[in-house]
Amino acid sequence: MKGSNGEVLFKSKDKTSSRYGKRPEERSLNELLQKGIVNIDKPRGPTSHEVTSWVKKILGISKAGHSGTLDPNVSGVLPVTLGKATKLVKLLMTSHKEYVCTLHLQKDIPKYDLMRVLKEYEGTLYQKPPVKSAVKRRVRTRKIHYITPIDIEEKDVLMKVGCDAGTYIRKLCYDIGLSLGCGASMKELRRTKTGVFGEDSTIMLQDLLDAKIFSIEENDENILKKYIFPYEIVLDPLKKIWIKDTAVEALCQGSMLTAPGVSKLQNGISKGDTVAIMTLKNEAVSISEAKMSSEEIFQKETDIVAKPFSVLMETGVYPRMWN
């Protein structure tokens, strides 16, 4: 077995039956309202919880969740999970984030010194949450993937920051000021990415409401559907294992995946990795822990391949096919 990471390895030549399940892109509006995500462009002012409540009211659903709190005065990308997609909130909350912020310096600093210090802050960062935070104030390690200056105007530095979830940008700005010896603060902040979701796919609350109204008036659910992503999109960063139709129901009932149930898989899986278990129609079945590497899964005919963390698909979608 050879190939680059991400290459799909075919363990068997199974076909999926059209009698069971449905490809995510073929779901109806009502199905997407239970297994979808809408990427809201949160305005400054309301809390993330308030925005989520408004989404529930606009879409007429009873359950929704958001992917990580944005302070009221912060705008930007806020994916809202709908219905059963709330099971993926934790995965979204722990995904990488990107922000655009304005760093305000207390005095003029040579550009060379500024660029040097910004570069020094890329990499592992030790942070203690600020006094006004919802978590315990202990030192935590986070990674700053990049700090890219966009524009510098006198004492204001507009910059883009890519970081691990849970990074405090306000604290980052304060620490940069200490390193520069001049003092600094965060003037403005906007989130531009959360995992696979970026600004290009956001929708304003008013536009979401308009789409809902127009879809009813025009009797065309596609007007609203185009703003709701199947929840499988959140699993894109994970390595995947596709299973046979005959194995789906057992996993939906909490069973562990064994080698005979595997149809194909991505190369590059290591033992202990978090992987997505998918049907051959690309429906999400579960998020699981790999108990074997890709090479072992490909070669083995028995034994446990993956243990579920979270079962996403409800029972009864595929038939029971064991005695």
Ramachandran region, residue 232 (left: φ > 0; alpha: ψ -120 to 50; beta: rest): alpha
Interhelix angle 111-120/169-180, nearest 10 degrees: 130
The phi, psi pair for 39, rounded to 5°, reads -95, 100
Q: Quote the tokens at residue 267.
A: 């190369």
CA atoms within 13 A of residue 104's CA, in its CB half-sphere: 7
From 71, 108, 207, 236, active-site residue: 71
C-alpha span between 291 and 235 (Å, rounded): 19
Provide the residue count of the chain: 323
71 is known as an active-site residue: yes
Distances (CA, A) of 85 to 53, 88, 95, 250: 16, 6, 16, 21
Q: How many CB atoms lie within 10 A of CB 151?
A: 9
User: What are the residue numbers of the active site?
Assistant: 71
